[in-house]
Amino acid sequence: MRHKKADKRIVTADKLYGSPVVTKFINYVMVDGKKTVAERLVYDMMNLFKEKGLDPLETFLKVLDTIGPKVEIKARRIGGANYQVPVEVKGDRKTAVAMRWVLEAAKSRPNSEYHKFSEKLVAEMLDALEGKGEAMKKRDNTHRQAEANRAFAHFRW
């Protein structure tokens, strides 16, 4: 490695649930620095979980764990050829990728069915708990690619 590793920034816990993961998700939802808007969307999402009779924080963490990939592929250049090498995904990256995929999937949902973005998020997360939805397809596709390239696993360092 050419440079020193960047220090991990410590994220403070959010106001209502006291969870740094929720704060991280709020930061992912935030657009153009509008944090209060992002907070409102995420807390609306949590309230919708509550209305459905689910524990909001527990459900949210379970969804992120479900969607987070266990393995992914990384390109390695070895002897002039590029190989797709399957690599195990560690904790922080797993949740970050899961958050990204959930947001991406929720944004791609059609507007006709839902009035608010928080409703789209809830729908995507509940679909993920059932093993369907766009984010779960993405995870399954990633796992399938890693499985297909398992022959190159010995190039991992």
How high is the pLDDT of residue 1? Answer: 64
State the pLDDT confidence band at 130, using cuts at 50, 70 and 90.
very high
**Once rounded to an integer, what is the mean pLDDT over residues 108-129?**
89
Q: In CATH, what class is 20-155?
A: mainly alpha
Domain ranges of the chain: 20-155
Please report which helix (H) or strand (E) contains residue 45, including its range: helix 35-51
- DSSP lists the bridge partners of residue 72 as 87
How high is the pLDDT of residue 59? Answer: 95
- For the stretch 43-71, pLDDT in tens is 999 999 999 999 999 999 999 999 999 99
Cβ-in-10-Å burial (0-12, 13-18, 19+) of 111 comes to exposed
